[in-house]
Chains A and B, each alone.
Chain A
Amino acid sequence: MNSRITAICLTTTLAVAHGYATSYHTVESAQHACFPEGGEFTSVDVKLTRDQRKAIEKASGVKVKDESQRVWRVINKGEAAGWFIVDEVIGKHELITYALALDAHGSVKSIEVMDYRENYGSEIRQADWRRQFVGKKSSDKLKLEDDIKNITGATLSCRHVSEGVKRLLSLYELVLKN
Protein backbone atom coordinates (compact mmCIF):
# COMPACT_ATOMS: atom_id res chain seq x y z
CA MET A 1 0.00 0.00 0.00
CA ASN A 2 2.75 2.49 0.92
CA SER A 3 4.57 2.06 -2.42
CA ARG A 4 1.35 2.69 -4.38
CA ILE A 5 0.60 5.81 -2.38
CA THR A 6 4.17 7.00 -2.85
CA ALA A 7 4.00 6.36 -6.61
CA ILE A 8 0.78 8.33 -7.02
CA CYS A 9 2.07 11.22 -4.91
CA LEU A 10 5.41 11.33 -6.71
CA THR A 11 3.90 11.39 -10.20
CA THR A 12 1.89 14.40 -9.16
CA THR A 13 4.73 16.17 -7.37
CA LEU A 14 7.03 15.79 -10.38
CA ALA A 15 4.54 17.77 -12.45
CA VAL A 16 5.09 21.02 -10.61
CA ALA A 17 5.74 23.66 -13.26
CA HIS A 18 8.36 26.31 -13.28
CA GLY A 19 6.54 29.60 -13.45
CA TYR A 20 7.98 32.67 -15.08
CA ALA A 21 7.51 36.44 -15.10
CA THR A 22 6.78 38.20 -18.36
CA SER A 23 8.41 41.60 -18.83
CA TYR A 24 6.58 43.80 -21.29
CA HIS A 25 8.36 47.11 -20.68
CA THR A 26 11.53 48.54 -19.22
CA VAL A 27 11.23 51.91 -17.51
CA GLU A 28 12.50 53.60 -20.69
CA SER A 29 10.13 51.80 -23.05
CA ALA A 30 7.20 52.45 -20.70
CA GLN A 31 8.09 56.16 -20.60
CA HIS A 32 8.11 56.24 -24.39
CA ALA A 33 4.80 54.34 -24.59
CA CYS A 34 3.15 56.72 -22.09
CA PHE A 35 4.59 59.92 -23.60
CA PRO A 36 5.00 59.15 -27.35
CA GLU A 37 5.26 62.91 -28.01
CA GLY A 38 8.56 62.82 -26.12
CA GLY A 39 9.85 64.72 -23.13
CA GLU A 40 12.56 65.01 -20.54
CA PHE A 41 12.13 62.66 -17.58
CA THR A 42 13.63 63.86 -14.29
CA SER A 43 13.63 61.45 -11.36
CA VAL A 44 12.03 62.86 -8.21
CA ASP A 45 12.97 61.49 -4.79
CA VAL A 46 9.60 60.86 -3.14
CA LYS A 47 9.77 59.66 0.45
CA LEU A 48 6.42 59.91 2.23
CA THR A 49 6.17 60.96 5.84
CA ARG A 50 3.83 59.12 8.20
CA ASP A 51 1.33 61.98 7.99
CA GLN A 52 1.44 61.96 4.18
CA ARG A 53 0.86 58.18 4.09
CA LYS A 54 -2.11 58.53 6.43
CA ALA A 55 -3.55 61.39 4.36
CA ILE A 56 -3.27 59.36 1.14
CA GLU A 57 -4.89 56.34 2.82
CA LYS A 58 -7.75 58.49 4.08
CA ALA A 59 -8.29 60.18 0.70
CA SER A 60 -8.05 57.04 -1.43
CA GLY A 61 -9.29 54.34 0.97
CA VAL A 62 -6.24 52.30 -0.03
CA LYS A 63 -3.40 51.29 2.27
CA VAL A 64 0.03 52.78 1.52
CA LYS A 65 2.59 50.01 2.04
CA ASP A 66 5.79 51.71 0.89
CA GLU A 67 7.13 55.04 2.09
CA SER A 68 9.01 55.64 -1.18
CA GLN A 69 7.60 55.93 -4.71
CA ARG A 70 9.42 55.94 -8.06
CA VAL A 71 8.34 59.18 -9.74
CA TRP A 72 9.60 61.16 -12.75
CA ARG A 73 8.57 64.73 -13.62
CA VAL A 74 8.03 65.12 -17.39
CA ILE A 75 8.92 68.34 -19.17
CA ASN A 76 8.25 68.81 -22.91
CA LYS A 77 9.58 71.86 -24.77
CA GLY A 78 10.10 73.72 -21.52
CA GLU A 79 6.59 73.14 -20.20
CA ALA A 80 5.26 70.71 -17.58
CA ALA A 81 3.85 67.70 -19.45
CA GLY A 82 2.94 65.52 -16.51
CA TRP A 83 4.22 62.75 -14.23
CA PHE A 84 5.44 59.20 -14.79
CA ILE A 85 5.11 56.82 -11.84
CA VAL A 86 6.22 53.18 -11.47
CA ASP A 87 4.22 51.19 -8.91
CA GLU A 88 3.75 47.59 -7.75
CA VAL A 89 0.64 45.79 -6.48
CA ILE A 90 -0.06 42.15 -5.64
CA GLY A 91 -2.13 40.32 -8.30
CA LYS A 92 -3.32 37.17 -6.57
CA HIS A 93 0.00 35.77 -5.34
CA GLU A 94 2.68 37.74 -7.20
CA LEU A 95 3.59 41.37 -7.80
CA ILE A 96 2.43 43.29 -10.89
CA THR A 97 4.69 46.19 -11.91
CA TYR A 98 2.93 48.89 -13.87
CA ALA A 99 3.51 52.47 -14.98
CA LEU A 100 1.01 55.30 -14.59
CA ALA A 101 1.26 58.48 -16.64
CA LEU A 102 -0.51 61.64 -15.45
CA ASP A 103 -1.01 64.74 -17.57
CA ALA A 104 -0.11 68.22 -16.35
CA HIS A 105 -3.50 68.50 -14.60
CA GLY A 106 -3.21 65.23 -12.66
CA SER A 107 -5.58 63.16 -14.83
CA VAL A 108 -4.60 59.71 -16.04
CA LYS A 109 -2.96 59.93 -19.45
CA SER A 110 -1.96 56.29 -19.85
CA ILE A 111 -1.28 53.06 -17.97
CA GLU A 112 1.16 50.33 -19.04
CA VAL A 113 1.80 46.89 -17.50
CA MET A 114 5.56 46.43 -17.20
CA ASP A 115 6.00 43.03 -15.46
CA TYR A 116 3.27 40.40 -14.98
CA ARG A 117 4.23 37.42 -12.81
CA GLU A 118 0.89 35.62 -12.46
CA ASN A 119 0.38 32.98 -15.14
CA TYR A 120 -3.11 34.03 -16.09
CA GLY A 121 -5.06 37.23 -15.74
CA SER A 122 -2.64 39.08 -18.01
CA GLU A 123 -5.72 40.30 -19.91
CA ILE A 124 -5.30 43.47 -17.84
CA ARG A 125 -2.76 44.39 -20.55
CA GLN A 126 -5.56 44.62 -23.10
CA ALA A 127 -5.79 48.17 -24.46
CA ASP A 128 -9.58 48.23 -23.94
CA TRP A 129 -9.23 47.53 -20.24
CA ARG A 130 -6.39 50.03 -19.70
CA ARG A 131 -8.23 52.70 -21.70
CA GLN A 132 -10.89 52.82 -18.94
CA PHE A 133 -8.44 54.73 -16.76
CA VAL A 134 -7.72 57.53 -19.24
CA GLY A 135 -9.05 60.82 -17.91
CA LYS A 136 -9.63 59.52 -14.37
CA LYS A 137 -8.93 61.94 -11.52
CA SER A 138 -8.56 61.50 -7.78
CA SER A 139 -12.26 62.31 -7.34
CA ASP A 140 -13.30 59.28 -9.44
CA LYS A 141 -14.37 56.04 -7.75
CA LEU A 142 -12.13 53.62 -9.71
CA LYS A 143 -14.26 50.74 -8.44
CA LEU A 144 -14.70 47.36 -10.14
CA GLU A 145 -18.12 46.74 -11.71
CA ASP A 146 -18.83 50.44 -11.23
CA ASP A 147 -16.67 52.75 -13.35
CA ILE A 148 -14.07 50.04 -14.09
CA LYS A 149 -15.14 46.81 -15.80
CA ASN A 150 -13.84 43.56 -14.38
CA ILE A 151 -12.13 40.81 -16.39
CA THR A 152 -13.49 37.36 -15.43
CA GLY A 153 -10.63 35.22 -14.15
CA ALA A 154 -8.49 38.29 -13.34
CA THR A 155 -10.63 39.92 -10.67
CA LEU A 156 -7.91 40.35 -8.05
CA SER A 157 -5.43 41.77 -10.58
CA CYS A 158 -8.10 44.20 -11.86
CA ARG A 159 -9.07 45.25 -8.36
CA HIS A 160 -5.53 45.78 -7.10
CA VAL A 161 -4.39 47.75 -10.14
CA SER A 162 -7.53 49.94 -9.85
CA GLU A 163 -6.78 50.51 -6.17
CA GLY A 164 -3.15 51.27 -7.01
CA VAL A 165 -4.17 53.93 -9.54
CA LYS A 166 -6.58 55.46 -7.00
CA ARG A 167 -3.77 55.63 -4.43
CA LEU A 168 -1.40 57.26 -6.94
CA LEU A 169 -4.01 59.84 -7.93
CA SER A 170 -4.28 60.79 -4.24
CA LEU A 171 -0.47 60.89 -4.09
CA TYR A 172 -0.57 63.47 -6.91
CA GLU A 173 -3.24 65.62 -5.21
CA LEU A 174 -1.59 65.62 -1.78
CA VAL A 175 2.14 65.50 -2.55
CA LEU A 176 3.19 65.93 -6.18
CA LYS A 177 0.84 68.75 -7.19
CA ASN A 178 2.51 71.14 -4.75
Chain B
Amino acid sequence: MNNKLLLLTIAGLLTITAARADERFFTYVYDADVIPKGQWEFEQWLTFRKGYQDGDSNFEQYFWDFREEIEYGLTEKLSGSLYLNFQQSQVVAQQVGGADSSDFAFKGISAELKYQLLNPNTQPVGVALYFEPTYNGNEQELEYKLIVSKNLGDHWVLAANAVYEQEWEQEDGETERESVFEFNAGVAYRFTPNWSVGLEGRYNAVYEGLGLDERLGAGWFVGPNVHYGTSRWWATLTVLPQIAGTPSDGGIDTLEHQIFETRLIFGINF
Protein backbone atom coordinates (compact mmCIF):
# COMPACT_ATOMS: atom_id res chain seq x y z
CA MET B 1 0.00 0.00 0.00
CA ASN B 2 2.85 2.45 0.95
CA ASN B 3 4.64 1.81 -2.34
CA LYS B 4 1.43 2.51 -4.25
CA LEU B 5 0.89 5.76 -2.37
CA LEU B 6 4.52 6.74 -3.04
CA LEU B 7 4.11 6.09 -6.76
CA LEU B 8 0.92 8.12 -6.84
CA THR B 9 2.64 10.96 -4.97
CA ILE B 10 5.49 10.96 -7.49
CA ALA B 11 2.92 11.08 -10.28
CA GLY B 12 1.28 14.00 -8.55
CA LEU B 13 4.53 15.90 -8.07
CA LEU B 14 5.21 15.61 -11.77
CA THR B 15 2.03 17.54 -12.53
CA ILE B 16 3.66 20.92 -12.09
CA THR B 17 1.42 23.82 -12.92
CA ALA B 18 1.96 24.60 -16.49
CA ALA B 19 1.49 27.14 -19.22
CA ARG B 20 0.15 25.59 -22.42
CA ALA B 21 -0.03 22.37 -24.33
CA ASP B 22 1.46 20.99 -27.53
CA GLU B 23 -1.74 19.13 -28.21
CA ARG B 24 -2.46 15.72 -29.68
CA PHE B 25 -5.51 15.25 -31.87
CA PHE B 26 -5.29 11.44 -31.60
CA THR B 27 -4.47 9.06 -28.74
CA TYR B 28 -3.29 5.98 -30.70
CA VAL B 29 -1.96 7.68 -33.84
CA TYR B 30 1.04 10.02 -33.76
CA ASP B 31 1.53 13.08 -35.95
CA ALA B 32 4.87 14.46 -37.13
CA ASP B 33 4.75 17.67 -35.04
CA VAL B 34 7.35 17.95 -32.27
CA ILE B 35 7.29 20.02 -29.11
CA PRO B 36 9.26 23.29 -29.57
CA LYS B 37 12.86 23.46 -28.39
CA GLY B 38 13.20 24.16 -24.69
CA GLN B 39 9.53 23.41 -23.90
CA TRP B 40 8.41 20.85 -21.35
CA GLU B 41 5.16 18.91 -21.49
CA PHE B 42 3.42 16.54 -19.05
CA GLU B 43 0.83 14.04 -20.30
CA GLN B 44 -1.41 11.79 -18.25
CA TRP B 45 -2.53 8.68 -20.14
CA LEU B 46 -5.49 6.57 -19.07
CA THR B 47 -6.33 3.48 -21.16
CA PHE B 48 -9.17 1.10 -20.34
CA ARG B 49 -9.12 -2.31 -22.07
CA LYS B 50 -11.64 -5.11 -21.87
CA GLY B 51 -11.01 -8.65 -23.04
CA TYR B 52 -11.13 -12.31 -22.14
CA GLN B 53 -8.36 -13.98 -20.13
CA ASP B 54 -6.53 -16.35 -22.51
CA GLY B 55 -9.45 -15.92 -24.91
CA ASP B 56 -11.88 -17.63 -22.48
CA SER B 57 -15.18 -15.71 -22.34
CA ASN B 58 -15.85 -17.26 -18.91
CA PHE B 59 -13.25 -14.87 -17.51
CA GLU B 60 -13.67 -11.22 -18.41
CA GLN B 61 -10.46 -9.27 -18.05
CA TYR B 62 -10.18 -5.52 -17.46
CA PHE B 63 -7.05 -3.39 -17.60
CA TRP B 64 -6.53 0.21 -16.54
CA ASP B 65 -3.16 1.38 -17.93
CA PHE B 66 -1.74 4.60 -16.52
CA ARG B 67 1.22 6.36 -18.08
CA GLU B 68 2.87 9.47 -16.71
CA GLU B 69 4.88 11.12 -19.49
CA ILE B 70 7.28 14.03 -19.26
CA GLU B 71 8.49 15.39 -22.61
CA TYR B 72 11.15 17.96 -23.54
CA GLY B 73 12.02 19.71 -26.80
CA LEU B 74 15.75 18.93 -27.18
CA THR B 75 16.16 20.73 -30.49
CA GLU B 76 13.76 22.24 -33.04
CA LYS B 77 13.39 18.80 -34.60
CA LEU B 78 14.08 16.34 -31.75
CA SER B 79 12.05 15.66 -28.61
CA GLY B 80 12.66 13.19 -25.79
CA SER B 81 10.29 11.68 -23.19
CA LEU B 82 10.33 9.54 -20.09
CA TYR B 83 7.36 7.46 -18.95
CA LEU B 84 6.32 5.74 -15.75
CA ASN B 85 3.91 2.88 -16.46
CA PHE B 86 1.32 1.42 -14.06
CA GLN B 87 -1.46 -1.10 -14.52
CA GLN B 88 -4.57 -2.10 -12.62
CA SER B 89 -5.84 -5.47 -13.84
CA GLN B 90 -8.96 -7.39 -12.87
CA VAL B 91 -10.38 -10.77 -13.82
CA VAL B 92 -14.07 -11.37 -13.23
CA ALA B 93 -15.35 -14.94 -13.46
CA GLN B 94 -18.62 -15.18 -15.35
CA GLN B 95 -19.56 -18.54 -13.86
CA VAL B 96 -20.26 -19.54 -10.28
CA GLY B 97 -17.17 -21.07 -8.69
CA GLY B 98 -14.73 -19.19 -10.88
CA ALA B 99 -12.06 -17.13 -9.10
CA ASP B 100 -11.91 -13.33 -9.41
CA SER B 101 -8.57 -11.55 -9.12
CA SER B 102 -7.27 -8.01 -8.98
CA ASP B 103 -3.78 -6.54 -9.10
CA PHE B 104 -2.09 -3.12 -9.25
CA ALA B 105 1.49 -3.09 -10.48
CA PHE B 106 4.28 -0.80 -11.59
CA LYS B 107 4.98 -1.83 -15.20
CA GLY B 108 8.36 -0.28 -15.77
CA ILE B 109 9.80 2.80 -17.41
CA SER B 110 9.89 3.86 -21.03
CA ALA B 111 11.93 6.44 -22.92
CA GLU B 112 11.10 8.04 -26.24
CA LEU B 113 12.94 9.90 -28.98
CA LYS B 114 11.00 11.56 -31.82
CA TYR B 115 12.83 13.20 -34.74
CA GLN B 116 11.04 15.36 -37.30
CA LEU B 117 12.36 14.97 -40.84
CA LEU B 118 9.71 17.12 -42.53
CA ASN B 119 7.32 19.69 -40.97
CA PRO B 120 3.61 18.83 -41.53
CA ASN B 121 2.61 22.50 -41.34
CA THR B 122 4.92 23.88 -44.00
CA GLN B 123 5.94 21.00 -46.27
CA PRO B 124 3.79 18.84 -48.57
CA VAL B 125 3.92 16.01 -46.00
CA GLY B 126 5.29 15.73 -42.47
CA VAL B 127 7.56 12.79 -41.60
CA ALA B 128 9.03 11.77 -38.25
CA LEU B 129 10.97 8.81 -36.84
CA TYR B 130 10.17 7.43 -33.39
CA PHE B 131 11.98 5.06 -31.04
CA GLU B 132 10.77 3.87 -27.63
CA PRO B 133 12.53 1.33 -25.37
CA THR B 134 10.69 -0.05 -22.30
CA TYR B 135 12.24 -1.85 -19.33
CA ASN B 136 10.25 -3.69 -16.67
CA GLY B 137 12.57 -6.14 -14.93
CA ASN B 138 12.10 -9.42 -16.80
CA GLU B 139 10.21 -7.74 -19.66
CA GLN B 140 11.83 -5.55 -22.29
CA GLU B 141 10.47 -3.92 -25.40
CA LEU B 142 11.78 -1.89 -28.33
CA GLU B 143 9.30 0.06 -30.46
CA TYR B 144 9.98 1.79 -33.78
CA LYS B 145 7.59 4.03 -35.70
CA LEU B 146 7.55 5.73 -39.08
CA ILE B 147 5.14 8.68 -38.77
CA VAL B 148 3.56 10.53 -41.69
CA SER B 149 1.10 13.38 -41.20
CA LYS B 150 -0.24 16.55 -42.76
CA ASN B 151 -2.06 19.59 -41.37
CA LEU B 152 -4.35 20.93 -44.10
CA GLY B 153 -5.15 24.59 -43.39
CA ASP B 154 -6.69 25.28 -40.00
CA HIS B 155 -9.18 22.42 -40.00
CA TRP B 156 -7.87 19.03 -41.07
CA VAL B 157 -5.20 16.81 -39.49
CA LEU B 158 -4.27 13.53 -41.21
CA ALA B 159 -1.79 11.01 -39.84
CA ALA B 160 -0.63 7.44 -40.40
CA ASN B 161 1.99 5.31 -38.63
CA ALA B 162 3.81 2.06 -39.39
CA VAL B 163 4.91 0.44 -36.12
CA TYR B 164 7.27 -2.46 -35.36
CA GLU B 165 7.88 -3.79 -31.84
CA GLN B 166 10.21 -6.39 -30.42
CA GLU B 167 9.39 -7.94 -27.03
CA TRP B 168 11.39 -10.14 -24.65
CA GLU B 169 10.17 -11.85 -21.49
CA GLN B 170 12.37 -13.96 -19.21
CA GLU B 171 10.72 -16.61 -17.01
CA ASP B 172 12.18 -19.73 -15.34
CA GLY B 173 15.45 -19.32 -17.22
CA GLU B 174 13.71 -19.19 -20.61
CA THR B 175 13.26 -16.13 -22.86
CA GLU B 176 10.05 -15.71 -24.81
CA ARG B 177 10.32 -13.50 -27.88
CA GLU B 178 7.48 -11.86 -29.75
CA SER B 179 7.12 -9.10 -32.29
CA VAL B 180 4.28 -6.81 -33.32
CA PHE B 181 3.43 -5.04 -36.54
CA GLU B 182 0.86 -2.27 -36.47
CA PHE B 183 -0.50 0.13 -39.05
CA ASN B 184 -2.69 2.93 -37.77
CA ALA B 185 -4.25 6.06 -39.25
CA GLY B 186 -6.43 8.93 -38.18
CA VAL B 187 -8.26 11.98 -39.45
CA ALA B 188 -9.40 14.90 -37.30
CA TYR B 189 -11.46 17.99 -38.13
CA ARG B 190 -11.15 21.18 -36.05
CA PHE B 191 -14.58 22.76 -36.22
CA THR B 192 -13.71 25.52 -33.73
CA PRO B 193 -10.28 26.74 -32.50
CA ASN B 194 -10.82 24.55 -29.40
CA TRP B 195 -12.77 21.45 -30.53
CA SER B 196 -12.07 18.67 -33.00
CA VAL B 197 -13.65 15.32 -33.77
CA GLY B 198 -12.08 12.49 -35.68
CA LEU B 199 -11.67 8.85 -36.47
CA GLU B 200 -8.79 6.46 -35.62
CA GLY B 201 -8.13 2.97 -36.95
CA ARG B 202 -5.52 0.31 -36.13
CA TYR B 203 -4.43 -2.99 -37.56
CA ASN B 204 -2.34 -4.79 -34.94
CA ALA B 205 -0.74 -8.23 -35.46
CA VAL B 206 1.27 -10.24 -32.91
CA TYR B 207 3.97 -12.73 -34.03
CA GLU B 208 6.08 -15.48 -32.53
CA GLY B 209 9.79 -14.49 -32.67
CA LEU B 210 11.41 -11.11 -33.19
CA GLY B 211 11.19 -11.07 -36.97
CA LEU B 212 7.40 -11.30 -37.51
CA ASP B 213 7.86 -15.06 -37.93
CA GLU B 214 4.53 -16.78 -37.18
CA ARG B 215 1.38 -14.73 -36.70
CA LEU B 216 -0.41 -15.48 -33.44
CA GLY B 217 -3.33 -13.10 -33.86
CA ALA B 218 -4.43 -9.89 -35.54
CA GLY B 219 -7.15 -7.36 -34.81
CA TRP B 220 -8.75 -4.41 -36.58
CA PHE B 221 -9.92 -1.52 -34.40
CA VAL B 222 -11.87 1.55 -35.56
CA GLY B 223 -13.53 4.28 -33.54
CA PRO B 224 -14.23 7.96 -33.01
CA ASN B 225 -12.32 10.53 -31.02
CA VAL B 226 -13.00 13.98 -29.59
CA HIS B 227 -10.49 16.63 -28.63
CA TYR B 228 -10.63 19.87 -26.69
CA GLY B 229 -7.68 22.26 -26.46
CA THR B 230 -7.03 25.65 -24.94
CA SER B 231 -3.89 27.71 -24.52
CA ARG B 232 -3.70 26.20 -21.00
CA TRP B 233 -4.38 22.44 -21.46
CA TRP B 234 -5.84 19.85 -23.81
CA ALA B 235 -7.55 16.47 -23.64
CA THR B 236 -8.33 13.80 -26.23
CA LEU B 237 -10.61 10.79 -25.85
CA THR B 238 -10.73 7.83 -28.26
CA VAL B 239 -13.12 4.89 -28.21
CA LEU B 240 -11.77 1.90 -30.11
CA PRO B 241 -13.71 -1.36 -30.33
CA GLN B 242 -12.25 -4.34 -32.18
CA ILE B 243 -14.34 -4.83 -35.31
CA ALA B 244 -12.61 -7.84 -36.84
CA GLY B 245 -9.81 -10.21 -36.00
CA THR B 246 -8.13 -13.55 -36.46
CA PRO B 247 -8.12 -16.25 -35.20
CA SER B 248 -11.80 -15.62 -35.18
CA ASP B 249 -14.03 -16.00 -32.16
CA GLY B 250 -17.34 -14.61 -33.30
CA GLY B 251 -15.46 -12.53 -35.88
CA ILE B 252 -12.84 -10.99 -33.55
CA ASP B 253 -9.54 -12.08 -32.00
CA THR B 254 -9.99 -12.58 -28.26
CA LEU B 255 -6.74 -14.48 -27.67
CA GLU B 256 -4.08 -11.86 -28.46
CA HIS B 257 -6.21 -8.69 -28.43
CA GLN B 258 -8.79 -6.91 -26.33
CA ILE B 259 -12.39 -6.61 -27.52
CA PHE B 260 -12.69 -2.96 -26.56
CA GLU B 261 -10.30 -0.11 -25.70
CA THR B 262 -10.71 3.52 -24.80
CA ARG B 263 -7.97 6.04 -24.08
CA LEU B 264 -7.92 9.51 -22.56
CA ILE B 265 -4.79 11.68 -22.71
CA PHE B 266 -4.62 14.96 -20.82
CA GLY B 267 -1.72 17.28 -21.51
CA ILE B 268 -0.20 20.48 -20.15
CA ASN B 269 2.99 22.33 -21.17
CA PHE B 270 5.28 24.47 -19.07
Contact = CB atoms under 8 A, between A and B. Distances in A.
A and B from one assembly? yes
Interface string A80-91: 000000000011
Contacts of B46: 5, 8-9
B76 interface: yes
A1 B231 contact: no
Interface string B215-251: 0000000000000011111000000000000000000
Interface stretch (B11-19, B134-142, B160-168, B198-206): B11-19
A159 B119 CA distance: 14
A117 interface: yes
B144 interface: no
Contacts of B37: 152-153
Nearest to A149: B122
Given A4-B8, A153-B36, A118 B231 contact: yes
B102 A1 contact: yes
A17 B230 contact: no
Nearest to A151: B36
Interface in A1-16: 1, 4-5, 7-9, 11-16
A31 B193 CA distance: 30
Size bracket, chain A contacts:
20 to 34
A91 to B, nearest CB: 8
Contact of A93 (B18, B66, B123, B194): B194
Contacts of A119: 19-20, 231-232, 269
A117 B121 CA distance: 21
Contact of A155 (B104, B121, B194): B121
B88 interface: yes
Contacts of A15: 15-18, 42, 268
Size bracket, chain B contacts:
35 or more
Main secondary structure of the interface of B (DSSP, over half): loop
Interface string A86-128: 0000111110000000000000000000000111100000000
A17 B15 contact: no
Interface string A8-41: 1101111111110000000000000000000000
Contacts of B18: 15, 17
Contacts of B12: 11-12, 14
Contacts of B39: 120, 153
B26 interface: no
Nearest to A144: B122
B268 A16 contact: yes
B154 interface: yes
Contact of B193 (A93, A150, A153, A159): A93
Contacts of A14: 12, 15
A93 B229 contact: yes
A16 B15 CA distance: 8
A148 B66 CA distance: 43
Interface string B169-207: 000000000000000000000000110000000000000
Contacts of B193: 90, 92-94
Which residue of B16, B46, B102, B232 has the most chain A CB atoms within 10 A of its CB atom? B232
A11 B193 CA distance: 27
A17 B154 CA distance: 25
22 contacts: A4-B8, A5-B64, A5-B88, A11-B11, A11-B15, A14-B15, A15-B15, A16-B268, A17-B270, A19-B231, A93-B193, A93-B231, A94-B230, A117-B231, A119-B19, A144-B122, A150-B121, A152-B119, A153-B35, A153-B37, A154-B36, A155-B119
Top 6 nearest A-B pairs (CB, nearest first) are A153-B36, A15-B15, A119-B20, A11-B12, A119-B19, A19-B232
Interface of B: 4, 8, 11-12, 15-20, 35-37, 39, 42, 44, 46, 64, 66, 73, 76, 86, 88, 90, 102, 104, 119, 121-123, 154, 193-194, 229-233, 266, 268-270
Interface of A: 1, 4-5, 7-9, 11-19, 90-94, 117-120, 144-145, 150, 152-156, 159
